[in-house]
Structure 1
Amino acid sequence: MAVVRSVVFNIVAFVLTGVMGVGALPIRWFMPGRALAYAKLWSRLVLWLFRAICGVQVRVSGLEHLPQSGPALIASQHQSAFDTLVWMLLLPRPCYVMKGELTRIPLLGPMLVLTGMMPVERAAGARALRLLLQGTDKAVADNRQIIIFPEGTRTMPGEHVALKPGIAAMSSHTGLPVIPVATNSGLFWGRNAFVKRSGVLHVCIGPSIGPTRRAALLEEIEKSWRALEPDCGL
């Protein structure tokens, strides 16, 4: 049954993405200010399909820790494509820190730029950090809530990897605290996994941390994630 559901979901989500990708052309040309709202609609539809077809229940705890407006820094675990969609529904003005190569994808890439996402060329070395902080300043000035995945890549549920220092530099640079988020999304929509599994997917949001020194902040993020993981079924 999981395989059948996954086939249906992947086909329908692919068609939806293609149709909305073409439908985004008038947005890009005539209504660029509506790009974020359009991206939110696409995310909402894809996640609705995920829940309805694949039999997944999404439970979010700790919403009281998220800002209702204004800038914020959110450090989320990253296990699944789900993590790159859900914040479109949870935040008023989300801004993802993402791989720069995503902006070069036909149809999708130009929309990512219009929505105000923050592309980072990871191979750029020290210049990448300067660009990250410049993008952070712009996002904060625009009252965006910045989502970054400090692990740097998708991981397995319960897997622990060294965190990238970018989040600490962003927090120190802006004076903003960091909101830690744990999840078990990889159990249901795994990394490069065709089959999507049913069950209860948790997004667990913790109290904000810092700002503080880089090494201390990364350690505190790790500790917060570990404390939140039991509530995520990990």
Structure 2
Amino acid sequence: MLYIRSLTFNFVFYVNLIVQMILWTPYYFLSPRHRAWFVPKFWSRTSMWLYEKIAGTKNEITGRENLPEGSFILAPKHQSFWDAIAFFPFLQDPLYILKRELTWIPFFGWYIMKMRMIPVHRGSRSKALKAVVAATKEEMARNPRQLIIYPEGTRRAPGDEPAYKYGIVEIYTQLGVPVVPVAHVAGLYWPRRKFLRYPGTIKARFLPPIPPGLSKDEFMARLIGETEAACDQFLMDAARGPNPPALPPTAVKRLQELDNAARTKV
């Protein structure tokens, strides 16, 4: 049954994407940019609805009161394709940094550039970072925008040791806007590089914003500490639930570490 539901959802997920891109094309490209955001946000919401109805996975996203007005940085934990599509409907005018090559894909690339995303050339890291900061500042000066950055860069398994990149520190320092960490363990239910989609409830939370102006070390310590603490709690809740998902080795190891730490405190 798990295999059949996963197969069905994966098929319907991509059919939904293709059909909506075709059906909404006239509205999307003829509408002003702020109105055109309805299309990808509607696709995201319908995808989450299909995910619940077919795969049996609910989404419980809390902490919307922690999203500031105006421009800010959203810094989600990156474990799954789920976190690439679940959060932007909550933002007024999201902004992504993406590989330049994605803009070359016919149709898909046109959709991306309509929203004035920031393409980056993967050459010199220092040059790329400067270009990203300059382009983001320009966008935020034109309109309040919410930059979505994955601090660890690539998807990591639930419970894996944190590996935060220094790039977000530089961007935080240069932009001077709040950073909202986002905690979740979606990788337990929508695993990276895997076909199966496990039933259950994905819990995610927008954490209180980290204000601008902190030192680089203080900012990084708060970002890692607050994000990982919330993710640990979600991991324990999932493992102790009535229908726990299959746990990857990284999650099992992390739960053992948390259990040992709790026993030491007693």
Q: TM-score, normalised by structure 2?
A: 0.80
1:77 is aligned to 77
After TM superposition, what 4+ stretches of structure 1 lie above 4 angstroms from structure 2?
Answer: none
Q: Does the 8 Å CA contact 2:159/2:235 hold for their aligned counterparts?
A: no
Please say which of residues 210-219 and 138-147 is displaced more in the overlay: 210-219
Q: Does the 8 Å CA contact 2:159/2:232 hold for their aligned counterparts?
A: no
Q: Does the 8 Å CA contact 2:153/2:164 hold for their aligned counterparts?
A: yes
Q: CA RMSD in A?
A: 1.9
Q: Does the 8 Å CA contact 1:55/1:198 hold for their aligned counterparts?
A: yes
Correspondence list, 1:21-36, <5 A: 21-27=21-27, 29-31=29-31, 33=33, 34-36=35-37
Cα distance change on mapping 1:162 and 1:4 into 2, 3 Å: same
1:121 is aligned to 121
Cα distance change on mapping 1:105 and 1:161 into 2, 3 Å: farther
1:138 is aligned to 138
Correspondence list, 1:1-234, <5 A: 1-27=1-27, 29-31=29-31, 33=33, 34-67=35-68, 69-141=69-141, 142-211=143-212, 212-234=214-236
Cα distance change on mapping 1:77 and 1:197 into 2, 3 Å: same
Q: TM-score, normalised by structure 1?
A: 0.90
Could you tell me how far 1:53 is from its partner in structure 2? 1.0
Q: Does the 8 Å CA contact 1:87/1:94 hold for their aligned counterparts?
A: no
Could you tell me how far 1:28 is from its partner in structure 2? 5.7
Secondary structure class of the residue paired with 1:96: strand
Q: Does the 8 Å CA contact 1:182/1:229 hold for their aligned counterparts?
A: yes
Query: Structure 1: where are the runs of 5+ without partners?
Result: none
- Paired with 2:226 and 2:210, the residues of 1 have a C-alpha distance of 9
Secondary structure class of the residue paired with 2:87: helix
The amino acid across from 1:200 in the alignment is T
Q: Does the 8 Å CA contact 2:75/2:181 hold for their aligned counterparts?
A: yes
Could you tell me how far 1:29 is from its partner in structure 2? 4.6
Alignment size in residue pairs: 233
The amino acid across from 1:222 in the alignment is I
Secondary structure class of the residue paired with 1:223: helix
- Paired with 1:110 and 1:19, the residues of 2 have a C-alpha distance of 16
- Paired with 2:105 and 2:161, the residues of 1 have a C-alpha distance of 30
Report Cα offsets for 1:145-180 as digits up to 9, x if no partner: 111101001110111243222222222112112111
Could you tell me how far 1:37 is from its partner in structure 2? 1.8
